[in-house]
């Protein structure tokens, strides 16, 4: 994934906002998404987990968390994130997000070893 010149300065600005005491779901989601875009899923997971702690009903954050955990090869945690995200999306009538996460979840389930 190519690093765009503005990505690092954007991240720096948002991290400064965190340091100054501004911490909310949207800020954490934006940071997590930026790190995911930069192919730094471990950093993305940290911020996206905080995003869903701030706002457990933030379906886009759950979806991004699932993607970041998948990129970290943490399949079970990714499945859990997608499960939570699907429930939230369905509760809020966000059918498209729920469908997308169901597709991602099914793909991951195929990677699990068969149950004995």
pLDDT tens digit string along 30-69? 999 999 999 999 999 999 999 999 999 999 999 999 999 9
Contact 108, 75 (CB under 8 A): yes
Structural domain count of the chain: 1
Q: Is residue 24 part of a domain?
A: yes
Residue 81 lies in a domain: yes
Q: Looking at residue 42, which CATH number applies to its domain?
A: 1.25.40.10
Is the pTM for the entire model greater than 0.75?
yes
Retrieve residue 115's tokens.
Answer: 């149950």
pLDDT over threshold 90, residue 2: no
Write the pLDDT tens digit of every residue in 5-26. Answer: 556 688 888 999 989 999 999 9
Does residue 115 sit within a domain? no
CA 101/CA 116 separation, integer angstroms = 26
Is 116 within a domain?
no
Task: Tell whether 71 is covered by a domain.
Answer: yes
SS3 label, residue 5 = helix
Q: Where residue 115 falls among pLDDT bands split at 50, 70, 90? A: confident
For residue 19, is it within any domain? yes
Q: How many CB atoms are located within 10 Å of the residue 15 CB?
A: 13
pLDDT over threshold 80, residue 88: yes
**SS3 for 58?**
coil
């Amino acid at each position: 994934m190519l690093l765009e010149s503005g990505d690092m300065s954007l991240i720096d600005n948002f991290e400064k906002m965190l340091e100054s005491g501004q911490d909310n779901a949207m800020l954490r989601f934006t940071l997590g998404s930026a790190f995911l875009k930069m192919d730094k899923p471990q950093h993305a997971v940290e911020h996206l987990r905080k995003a869903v702690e701030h706002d457990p009903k933030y379906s886009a954050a759950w979806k991004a968390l699932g993607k970041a955990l998948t990129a970290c090869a943490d399949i079970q945690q990714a499945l859990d994130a997608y499960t939570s995200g699907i429930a939230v999306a369905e509760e809020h009538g966000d059918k498209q997000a729920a469908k997308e996460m169901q597709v991602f979840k099914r793909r991951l389930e195929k990677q699990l070893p068969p149950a004995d």
